[in-house]
Structure 1
Amino acid sequence: MDDAPAEPTTRYVVPGIDNLHVRMGSGTSYPVVGVLVPDARVVGIGAGDWLQITQGPLRGACVSSAYLTPDAPPEQPGTPCPRLEGRVTSDDQFANVRSGPSFGHPVVGRCQRHEAVSGSLVGQGPWIRTDRGYVNGGTLTFHTGDPTTINGRISERLLAPIPLHYNASGTFEPGYGPTTIRYLNDAALEALHLLQRSFRRRFGHYATIDLTYRSYAEQEFWFERFGSPRAADPGTSNHGYGLAIDFEERDVPWRFSWGAPANDWLLTHQAGFGFDNPYAATLQHGEDYHFNFVG
C-alpha cells in the first residue's frame, strides 16, 4: 500500500537565536529569501532535515528543522518575519501596491511582472510592508528566482481547495464536474471568500466558478483545443500559479457575459477584493469571465 501524503505540522522557531534563515530550497546552498524571528510559527511538511512551508506568503520555501520545536511559546511575536525578498509571480499581470495592509486601502502603485519586491510581513500576513506601500504576499513567489519554473507545477499541498459550493453545476472536459476540487493560491482564496460573501448579499447566490489552478498538462489540453490567443501558451497562464479564476461560462449570453448585471458588479467591485479582469477595458472582446488576483 502506498504511503499517505504527509500532513502539514505546526512548528515554532526556537528561542535563543538571532533569527532563522528562510531559503529557496532544502539546503544551505539555496539563497536566503527571508528571516524568521524566535518563536515565529511555521506550518509545513518535512523534507529530510528541512521543513517546506505550506502556509502564508513564504509557502514553498524551506527552513532547517534543527531550529524548530513543536512547543508553542507563551506569546507570538508582533513581527514573525522581519524581512522577505520575492518576485511578482505573474507573467503578464502586476501586483497592486496599496496605502495600507488591506483591500480597503486605495491602490497607489503597481509592481510589474517578475519585479523584485522586498519588505517585512505585517502580523501573520499576507500583507508585506515595502518602501512603496503594501503588497499582498499572495502575488509574490519566494522559493524560486524565476516564477515561470513553477507554472503548472505547484503541488496541491501548496494551494488551497475552494469550497465545492462555489463550483459551477455543469460537467466539461477534462474531467470537471460539480464535485471536482478546484485549487487557488491561499491568499487569493481568502480574497475570493470576501468577494463571494458580498456577491451573495447582492444576488442571492455565489458567483459560480468553472476553472482555477491548471496544471501544465491541463494548460496543454486547452492550448491544443483553442490555440492562441484564447488559450495561453502552456507554462505562461496565470491559472498555472493559482492566481486566476474563470467564473462560469456558457455558449449563450450569461450572468458573467459583458453587460450582464453580475459581470458589471464584478468589474465595479473587483479592485476592492484584489482582482482584475485584464480585458475589462474593451468590454466586448476577450474573456469576460476571467479575473486575476493582483492583491
Structure 2
Amino acid sequence: MSMSMKKVSTAPRRTKLALAVAAIAVSTTAAVPQAFSATPTAVSTTVVGARVLASVSSLNVRTGPGAAYTRVGALSGGSFVLGVVNNGWLKISSGPYAGRYTSAGYLTVVKPPATAAAGSTVTGWVALTGGIPANVHTAPGFKYTVGRTLASGTAITGKVVDADWIRLNGTGGYVNRGTIETLSANVTSVNGSLPAWALCPVNRAYNSPQPFDPGYTATTRRYLNCNAVRSLDALQSAYKAAFGHYASIDLAYRTYSEQQYWYTTLGPKYANAPGASNHGAGLAVDFQEWEGHTTEFDWGGAGSNWLRANGGKYGFTQPYAYGTDGESYHFNFAG
C-alpha cells in the first residue's frame, strides 16, 4: 500500500494540516486531580500535547465544551491527545475527534522531553508503520550491518549512546532514536498528531520549485522527525556533491487531517489510512514527482537510482521493488 500519492499533471496537489483527540470521564478507578485551570485568564489558542490520566478508564468525547453536549465517543486511559484548552475543556485539534471536546480536568500536560544524556535509559515504541520495520544495527551508525529489524509498535528499552543512537537492553543492537517515539504505546494515536516540539523544520532549499495542491509552494515549510532531519541534511550534502543541486522534496510530515484528505481523494492504492502513514510519524519523504513529466526521481531516473543506492547510508530506504506500481520517489527513515 502506498504511503504517499500521485500529483496530477500541472495541477497542485496535497495539504499541510492540523492536530489531535478528546472528552469527559465516564468512570475512574481513583480520584482524579485537575491538571488544567478551569478558569483561564484569557482565551488560549496554543495547541498543547496531553495524556488522559491512567486512572481514567474511559473519557467521553462531546460535541461541545460541557457535559450537556452529546457524547460522540471516548478515549481510554493513557491516550495521547492534542488540542487547545479553554474554560476547563480541551478542543481536539486532530485525529478522528478533531473539533470535538473533552474535559481538561482528566488530562495531564505532556511536556517536551529534555535531551537524554548519554547513559540514561529510554523507553518507547517503534514509530514506523505500514509494514515498515525499524533497523537494528550491530553498532551505532548507519555504516554498520543491519542485524535484524523491529516491527511497528514494538516496545523497547535501552541506553542512550548519543543524540542519534540507543543501545537496546537485553537483545543488544542499536536503533536510531528517530525511529522510536515515547508518547504512547498506541502509535496510531500519535501518528499525524505530533506536537511541534517533536518535529524539526526541513531546509527550504530542498523544496520542489513547483506549487501543488492544496497550497504547497516553493517556500512552504516542511517538517520531519528531528533525527531524520539531521540524516536528511547529510544525504542532501552528498546528493549535491554528485548532481550539483539538492534532491527536491515534495512532502515530509503530514498531519492526520492531511492524510485523511488524500486517503479520501485517492483511495488506499496511493495513500495509507490516517494513522498508518510514515509521513504521520515524521519518518517519510516524497522527493519530487510530476505525473506526465520525466523527472530525475522516476523509476530509472538518475536521482531515483542514486537514492536507492545511497539512501541507506543515511537511514533512508525505498520500500518498493524497482519499476513496480510503487512510488519511486517515496523513502522511509528506518534508521
Superposition TM-score tier, normalisation by shorter sequence: 0.7 to 0.9
For residue 106 of structure 1, what is the amino acid of its counterpart?
T
Gaps of 5+ in 2: 1-41, 56-76, 79-106
Does 1 or 2 have the higher relative contact order (CA < 8 Å, sep 6+)?
2
The answer to whether residue 233 in structure 2 is matched with residue 198 in structure 1 is no
Alignment partners' CA distance in 2, 1:146 and 1:28: 14
Q: 2:112 is matched with which residue: 53, 68, 72?
A: 53
Q: CA deviation at 1:86?
A: 1.3
Structure 2 counterpart of 1:85, from 102, 119, 123: 123
* 1:38-87 deviation line (CA, Å, top 9, x unaligned): xxxxxxxxxx997712565x7xxxxxxxxxxxxxxxxxx652x1x22211
Alignment TM-score, normalising by the size of structure 2: 0.66
Whether the aligned pair in 1 keeps the contact of 2:200 and 2:225 (CA below 8 Å) is yes
Describe the SS at the equivalent of 1:240: coil
Closer, same or farther: CA 226–202 of 1 in aligned 2, 3 Å: same
SS of corresponding position for 1:179: coil
- Equivalent residue letter for 1:135: V
After superposition, residues 84-103 of structure 1 pair within 5 angstroms as 84-91=122-129, 92-103=131-142
- The one-character-per-residue Cα deviations of 1:240-290 (angstroms, maximum 9, x if unpaired) are 1111100010122210001111110000011111011111x2433210000
Residues 211 and 246 in structure 1, CA contact (< 8 A), matched pair in contact too = yes
Name the counterpart of 2:92.
none
Q: Does 1:257 align with 2:298?
A: yes
Matched, 1:167 2:226: no
Determine the C-alpha separation between the residues in 2 that align with 1:54 and 1:159: 12
User: 1:271 is matched with which residue?
Assistant: 312
Q: Deviations over 1:10-48 (max 9, x none)?
A: xxxxxxxxxxxxxx95979698xxxxxxxxxxxxxxxx9
CA contact (8 A) 1:26 1:50 kept: no
The CA deviation string for residues 120-167 of structure 1, in whole angstroms up to 9 with x for no partner, is 1013x2200013310011101112111110111112232101111110
Matched, 1:154 2:194: yes
**For residues 55 and 182 of structure 1, what CA distance do their matches in structure 2 show?**
24
Look up the match of 1:182.
222
Aligned residue in 2 for 1:283? 323
Residue equivalent to 2:177? 137
Q: Give the counterpart of 2:143 among 93, 104, 111.
A: 104
> CA 1:113–1:50 in 2, change beyond 3 Å: closer, same or farther?
closer
| Gap regions ≥5 residues in structure 1 | 7-23, 32-47, 59-76
Q: How many angstroms apart in 2 are the aligned matches of 1:107 and 1:206?
A: 27
Amino acid at match of 2:267: G
Q: Could you say what the CA RMSD is over the residues aligned between the two structures, in angstroms?
A: 2.6
1:204 maps to amino acid: G
| Counterpart residue number, 2:249 | 209
1:221 equivalenced with 2:261 (yes/no): yes
CA distance in 1, matches of 2:326, 2:334: 19
Distance in 2 between residues matched to 1:88 and 1:116, nearest whole Å: 7
Alignment partners' CA distance in 2, 1:157 and 1:95? 22
The answer on whether the counterparts of 1:97 and 1:108 sit within 8 Å (CA) in structure 2 is: yes
Deviation beyond 4 Å, 4+ runs, structure 1: 1-6, 24-31, 48-51
SS in structure 2 of the partner of residue 266 of structure 1: helix
Look up the match of 1:17: none
- How far residue 96 of structure 1 moved from its aligned partner, in angstroms, is 0.5
> For 1:174 and 1:250, how far apart are their aligned partners in 2?
15
Paired with 1:172 and 1:55, the residues of 2 have a C-alpha distance of: 37
Q: Percent identity?
A: 37
What letter matches 1:189 in structure 2?
Answer: V
